[in-house]
Amino acid sequence: MAASAARAVLWPAAGLAVWGAHFGGIYAVHGFACERGMQDATLFGLPWVATLVVVLTILALAVLFLLFRLARPGGTVTEGGQAEPDFTRWFGAAACVFAAFAVLFEAAPALVLPACW
């Protein structure tokens, strides 16, 4: 019973947790760059802040895609032949899609705007 209840909470929250980690990662990179005066530094010939934001975004999208594939409703069939509703898995998959859009929308300004004003 405890594992089932924990799974019911963790599936829907996993995508949102990735979104929150991405948000924190972006602002940690920007905060570090501003604090150390490294906003104009380069990494492999590219601005390192933008490079790390892109890496964090790709990593977050990859994890969200994996979670979506795992949480996607599978259409389990009961003995009567009717599809069994699985709201927790459906909501987890929907949260991953929502989180993917949110990751893209928070990465765009982080790439366009300068790290420090």
User: For the CA atoms of the chain, what is the radius of gyration?
Assistant: 19
CA distances in angstroms from 12 to 34, 43, 63, listed in the order given: 35, 36, 14
Q: How confident is the model at residue 1 (pLDDT cuts 50, 70, 90)?
A: very low
The predicted model scores a pTM of 0.81
Q: What is the pLDDT of residues 22-80, one digit of tens each?
A: 999 999 999 999 888 888 888 778 888 889 999 999 999 999 999 998 876 665 555 55
Instruction: Give me the amino acid identity at 33.
Output: A
